[in-house]
């Protein structure tokens, strides 16, 4: 069981392969149960949600066994968006929340994300302690103190009402034709219901999960189908979620796609004008486009950058008292409403802007000119460290020298997959491709997959 379990967003991997096995999930449940069961004088609770992957059944049962073995009472939510777990953890006064999902990954992957009693994802320190307990083992509780498991049938309805409450009071979506792509994932029922209840004409896509088709040629990682549907139906806008609905991308009436940077730019400007933006800043990661930073500066606002991962965005928001942040990939975090990224909630904020301004999506989703940015991924073998190779380091140093003063180079390991992510940004597109390709080739030359 050696090796680090937690990545940038919980534990993730291929289902039925280490670390994503039923045995490991049971041990994680027991470890987390022991970590959060701080005393024996009251009832201790955990809420567990999942997306639509077939392996979710297996991990749900294994986690339940682990938690109940330590005396924790388990409340099973079934398929709900990740932000619903954060919300219901606090609403149900639970000690811990768990989401079983690999987010935007294909069906054969799965993951386990933990939320603390405050509804926020766990700190690195908390994850390290749970991991220590996994490796050392946990003493089960006595037979008379084993926890119970209860299925909660109205979890998604509680979340629906919470999300609807964030939409401006008295406003409706009447007259708006909205394509909603749920990626055959956790929001396949929730998102269309919210939009319909607010008055939109809803055209659903990716709402027929079968355990295997989550994120399969649909959702925020593949917007082609949704874009084609927007154009074919003459829709005003498309909203694309990922498998666990904590990400969103927007498609305008022409079929063009806008990422999280453009959505955050719109929200930051509107919130600043309304006096709602706390701290005069937007929090985003090092991946966000330089054009976003320049745009915010013209509005008298700052861009606070963090490491990649919405968890680090939220940590900075809480430290600095900021209430808006997110990632280029579409995680949008609004701590006035939610403890984590919420794709549906962010989509509603965009729709509210359309209703209030009367402007089309094509205008509202184009807030700044992006600086050309190129990202390529290189897969490497288990146990390898391509970035530690001197030849790779030399190529990276040369690419950084060439970009100095006109752009930037970002090299990082993925926290969820065995990938090296190589990203460069500069107005000189010839230099852009040369810098990225040189690093990619260097990494490939020392990697064996």
CA dihedral 74, 75, 80, 83 (to 10 degrees): -80
Q: Which residues sit opposite 151 in a β-bridge?
A: 76
Catalytic residue (choose from 103, 258, 365, 447): 103
Cis before 413? omega within 30: no
165 is catalytic: no
Are 229 and 204 in contact, with CB atoms under 8 Å apart?
no
Nearest alpha-carbon partner for 375 in 287, 285, 304, 251: 287
Give SS3 for 114: strand
For strands 324-326 and 281-285, give the pairing. parallel
Give the length of the chain: 449
370 vs 77: CA distance, rounded Å: 40
Determine the distance from the C-alpha atom of residue 264 to the mean position of all C-alpha atoms in its chain, rounded to a whole number. Answer: 15
The helix-helix angle for 124-136 and 22-36 (nearest 10°) equals 120
270 vs 260: CA distance, rounded Å: 15
Are 266 and 299 in contact, with CB atoms under 8 Å apart?
no
Active site residues: 103
């Amino acid at each position: 069981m050696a090796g680090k379990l937690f990545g940038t967003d919980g534990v993730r991997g291929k289902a039925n392969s280490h670390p994503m096995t039923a045995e490991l999930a049971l041990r994680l449940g027991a470890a987390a149960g022991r970590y959060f069961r701080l005393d024996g004088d009251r009832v201790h609770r955990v809420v567990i949600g999942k997306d639509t992957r077939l392996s979710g059944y297996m991990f749900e049962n294994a986690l339940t066994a682990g938690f109940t073995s330590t005396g924790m009472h388990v409340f099973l939510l079934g398929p709900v968006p990740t932000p619903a777990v954060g919300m219901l953890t606090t609403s149900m006064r639970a000690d811990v929340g768990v989401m079983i999902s690999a987010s935007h990954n294909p069906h054969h992957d799965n993951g386990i994300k933990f939320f603390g009693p405050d509804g926020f994802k766990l700190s690195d320190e908390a994850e390290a302690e749970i991991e220590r307990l996994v490796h050392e083992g946990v003493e089960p509780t006595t037979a008379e103190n084993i926890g119970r498991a209860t299925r909660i049938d109205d979890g998604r309805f509680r979340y629906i009402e919470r999300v609807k409450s964030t939409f401006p009071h008295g406003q409706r979506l009447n007259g708006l034709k909205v394509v909603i792509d749920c990626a055959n994932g956790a929001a396949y029922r929730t998102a269309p219901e919210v939009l319909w209840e607010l008055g939109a004409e809803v055209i659903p896509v990716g709402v027929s999960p079968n355990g295997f088709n989550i994120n399969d040629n649909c959702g925020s990682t593949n917007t082609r189908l949704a874009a084609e549907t927007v154009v074919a139906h003459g829709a005003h806008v498309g909203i694309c979620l990922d498998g666990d609905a904590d990400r969103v991308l927007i498609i305008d009436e022409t079929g063009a796609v806008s990422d999280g940077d453009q959505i955050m730019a719109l929200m930051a400007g509107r919130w600043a004008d309304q006096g709602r933006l706390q701290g005069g800043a937007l929090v985003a990661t090092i991946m966000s486009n330089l054009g976003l930073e320049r745009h915010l500066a013209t509005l008298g606002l700052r861009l606070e950058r963090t490491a990649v991962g919405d968890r680090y965005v939220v940590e900075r928001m809480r430290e600095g008292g900021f209430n808006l942040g997110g990632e280029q990939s579409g995680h949008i975090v609004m701590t006035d409403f939610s403890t984590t990224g919420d794709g549906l909630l962010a989509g509603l904020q965009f729709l509210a802007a359309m209703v209030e301004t009367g402007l089309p999506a094509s205008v509202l989703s184009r807030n700044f000119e992006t600086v050309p940015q190129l990202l390529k991924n290189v897969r490497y073998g288990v146990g390898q460290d391509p970035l530690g190779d001197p030849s790779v380091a030399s190529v990276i140093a040369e690419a950084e020298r060439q970009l100095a003063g006109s752009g930037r180079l970002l090299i990082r390991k993925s926290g969820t997959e065995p990938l090296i992510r190589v990203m460069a940004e500069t107005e000189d597109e010839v230099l852009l491709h040369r810098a990225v390709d040189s690093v990619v080739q260097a990494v490939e030359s020392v990697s064996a997959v």
